[in-house]
Amino acid sequence: MTVRNAEVATAFEEMADLLEIEGANPFRVRAYRFAARTLRDLPAEVGEMVAKGEDLTGLPGIGDDLAGKIKEILSTGTAAAIEAQRKRVPATVTELLRIPGLGPKRVKTLTQELKIRSPSELQKAAQEGRVRTLAGFGEKTEQHILAALAARLAEAPRVKRAVAIPYAEALVAYLEQLSGVGRVMAAGSYRRGLETIGDLDILAVAPAGRPVTDRFVAYQEVRDVLAHGETKASVRLQSGLQVDLRVVPQESYGAALLYFTGSKSHNVVLRQLAQQRGLKLNEYGLFRGDTRVAGETEESVYAALGLPWIPPELREGRGEIEAAKAGRLPHLVDLHDLKGDLHAHTRATDGRHSLQEMAEAARLRGLQYFAITDHSRRLTMAKGLDSTRLLQQMEDIDRLNATLSGITILKGIEVDILEDGNLDLPDNVLGRLDLVVAAVHSRFTLSKQKQTERIMKAMDHPHFSILAHPSGRLIGRREPYDVDMLRIIRKARERRCFLEVNAHPERLDLTDIHCRMAREEGVLLAVNTDAHSMLDLENARFGIGQARRGWLEKSDVLNTRSYAELRKLLKPTMKA
Ligand code: DGT
Ligand code: CA
Ligand code: CA
């Protein structure tokens, strides 16, 4: 059995949640969360470390006890302590945690005060207006819970892209080395760069299907075989992820890849185009009568329909075919276009590495500039900086810059936008920074109008540079707050400031739709990692994926600019 870091981390996070619901010692809860984060950030697979006999207790937050539990999970898939804890907290209570907006603290209150034990009991209590009476809840929260419950019932669980990637890559590599197998590609929403994946769709080229589907269902991580045929098979992996495989002959590869990449709405328009030309398009090729006129490559199919190749990220039936016809497809931004990163944390607040370590990691990635933007004082949980500590950090950065070559460290802050729209640090301090990244970290449930006005007021601030994670959503965990994004985008244009595409795989905020809206309104976006560790700088690729889904070109992205250009854009003389 192969157990990956993410699975061990998930088990530890679950343990922390269970303990917290029970009101266990907060230090124990924190120890599990910290260990989970260590595992998620770990570049090596912990299973391989154990196999090589390496000592896990050298890892941050992993002592003898947790090292033992990791080994137990690696060999048995679970740990006795977690199983025992699961028995003490009923599964229906654990399910409450999966409702957006409900963390362990709130679940604890619900179970203790209202004796709620399941989502359906919660729904009943909310409908009867009993939830709003609890401390820390209120009427708004109650409405949110009801909306989230309704949405949840309509939605199957989806897997975050970052979680799906290692599974997809390992499976593609496994299939590629089978004899007789040619190209192998992950298609579907995965190839379109969607932020979450319903299931994984894999396409393999081989002269005969059966030997490939046989080996596919025998893959070591398969838990259940859902279907197993000549050219198709479907399995569920131990992680719960479903994978569909299709095996096609070489001459159908392009047509099949096009078909299984989707989206359905893109395919529908392509088939209509084919029909208008007296052709028929399916997963085997493009046909005139019985004659295949194209199909071995995607390019051949598009070309036969009078179109250039369309990047998968655009294939959502959102006008890409019209744009392609008119020769107006965007030239999408690439990871290597990024010249800098404008949002990152250090150990001074809630990051894991020092200023020097973060700067070195950014330099090694080839960035020309890198902004340090730690939290402001209001975020006490993250040890937010007050003016004194920020000024101290600015001096540290000046000293560091004097020793660095090839990269400039910019002085910034991720300042809290307070409920009244003011910023959490005084103007005279903010004015001395190279840039001010501002974010909402509190009062997520204000009305749309109040939330929008709060943010717009912050943008009026003379030193405001970038609005961080503009919608505040956490994928699968927290809904975006209610905000009029078009008004905010227009405000950014008027104020000549910028919005962020936060690249953290749990945020990816702005969304693709709002990226596109910003581009159409002429507002530049900053693709930022919001790194809390050196490894987090890798997340830039997820931000770029989102930007590409939002039709962004290099020229639409602020941090593709040279350092000199950037400086002019950050501190325009006109701004007042
Ligand atoms: P997902 O899995 O929910 O994240 O989304 P997709 O886009 O991967 O959808 P999925 O797995 O149901 O199907 C993969 C692709 O296969 C889809 O994007 C287009 C193609 N496809 C599947 N079923 C149909 C269908 O009934 N009609 C057409 N035209 N295409 C289909
Ligand atoms: Ca899929
Ligand atoms: Ca599928």
Note the CATH architecture for domain 5-153: Orthogonal Bundle (1.10)
Whether the per-residue pLDDT at 574 is higher than 50: the answer is: no
Task: Looking at the CA of 261, name the nearest ligand.
Answer: 1
* CA diameter of the chain: 77
Q: Best of 260, 273, 298, 512 to mutate for ligand 1, by most ligand atoms within 8 A of CB? A: 260
Q: In what order do the strands lie in the sheet with 291-294?
A: 280-282, 285-288, 291-294
Note the CATH architecture for domain 156-248: 2-Layer Sandwich (3.30)
Percent of all residues in the chain with a pLDDT value above 70, rounded to a whole number = 98
Task: Looking at the CA of 192, name the nearest ligand.
Answer: 1
- 423-437 average pLDDT score: 96
Percent of all residues in the chain with a pLDDT value above 90, rounded to a whole number = 81
- Alpha helices (runs of H) in 97-186, residue ranges in sequence order: 104-114, 119-127, 138-153, 161-176
CA distance 97 to 103: 6
CA distance 291 to 294: 9
pLDDT band at residue 16 under the 50/70/90 scheme: very high
**Closest ligand 1 atom to 194 CA:** 4
Look at ligand 1, atom 18, and give the residue with the nearest C-alpha: 262
Neighbours of ion ligand 3 (CB under 5 A): 199, 201, 244
Q: At what angle do helices 512-521 and 540-549 cross, to 10 degrees?
A: 70
- Residue 464 is encoded by which pair of tokens? 């405001």
Dihedrals phi, psi of 197, to nearest 5 degrees: -120, 130
Residue ranges with strand state E in 295-416:
340-341, 369-375, 408-416
Contact 56, 35 (CB under 8 A): no
Q: Model confidence over 264-305: pLDDT tens digits?
A: 999 999 999 999 999 999 999 999 999 999 999 999 999 999
Whether the per-residue pLDDT at 90 is higher than 90: the answer is: no
pLDDT band at residue 575 under the 50/70/90 scheme: very low
pLDDT band at residue 449 under the 50/70/90 scheme: very high
Q: The pTM is what?
A: 0.76
Residue 98's pLDDT is what? 77
**Closest ligand 1 atom to 271 CA:** 29
pLDDT band at residue 68 under the 50/70/90 scheme: very high
What is the residue extent of each domain of the chain? 5-153, 156-248, 249-329, 335-573
CATH domain 249-329 topology: Beta Polymerase; domain 3 (3.30.210)
| Residue 263 alpha carbon to ligand 1 centre in Å | 6
Residue 227's pLDDT is what? 93
Residue 207's pLDDT is what? 96
- Residue 298 is encoded by which pair of tokens? 């995607």
Dihedrals phi, psi of 199, to nearest 5 degrees: -145, 170
CA distance 504 to 423: 24
Contact 359, 574 (CB under 8 A): no
Residue 495's pLDDT is what? 96
Task: Looking at the CA of 200, name the nearest ligand.
Answer: 2
Average pLDDT score, the chain: 93
Residue 234's pLDDT is what? 95
Whether the per-residue pLDDT at 310 is higher than 80: the answer is: yes
Whether the per-residue pLDDT at 2 is higher than 90: the answer is: no
Look at ligand 1, atom 29, and give the residue with the nearest C-alpha: 264
CATH code at 335-573: 3.20.20.140
Q: Best of 159, 167, 201, 281 to mutate for ligand 1, by most ligand atoms within 8 A of CB? A: 201
Residue 155's pLDDT is what? 54
Q: Model confidence over 98-110: pLDDT tens digits?
A: 787 888 889 999 9
Pocket of ligand 1 (CB under 6 A): 188-189, 194, 197-199, 201, 259-260, 262-264, 267
Q: Model confidence over 140-156: pLDDT tens digits?
A: 999 989 888 877 655 55
Beta bridge partners of 436: 413
The CA distances from residue 455 to 175, 362, 432, 494, 528, in Å, are 49, 30, 22, 14, 19
The CA distances from residue 111 to 21, 90, 134, 566, in Å, are 8, 11, 11, 52
| Residue 202 alpha carbon to ligand 2 centre in Å | 9
Residue 154's pLDDT is what? 52
Task: Looking at the CA of 269, name the nearest ligand.
Answer: 1
Residue 6's pLDDT is what? 85
CA distance 440 to 426: 17
β 408-416/369-375 pair status: parallel
Whether the per-residue pLDDT at 573 is higher than 80: the answer is: no
Q: Model confidence over 223-245: pLDDT tens digits?
A: 889 999 999 999 998 888 999 99
Residue 576's pLDDT is what? 44
Whether the per-residue pLDDT at 376 is higher than 60: the answer is: yes
Q: Model confidence over 176-230: pLDDT tens digits?
A: 999 999 999 999 999 999 999 999 999 999 999 999 999 999 999 998 899 999 9
| Residue 240 alpha carbon to ligand 2 centre in Å | 14
- 23-49 average pLDDT score: 91
The CA distances from residue 391 to 190, 274, 385, in Å, are 44, 64, 9
| Residue 46 alpha carbon to ligand 2 centre in Å | 29
CA distance 341 to 333: 15
CA distance 491 to 498: 10
Residue 333's pLDDT is what? 98
Whether the per-residue pLDDT at 522 is higher than 60: the answer is: yes
Residue 46's pLDDT is what? 93
Reference 259, options 210, 304, 312; nearest CA is 312
- 474-478 average pLDDT score: 85
Chain CA centroid to CA 139, Å: 30
Contact 317, 268 (CB under 8 A): yes
Residue 572's pLDDT is what? 65
CA distance 447 to 279: 52
Residue 94's pLDDT is what? 78
Residue 156's pLDDT is what? 53
Compute and round to an integer the Cα radius of gyration of the chain. Answer: 25
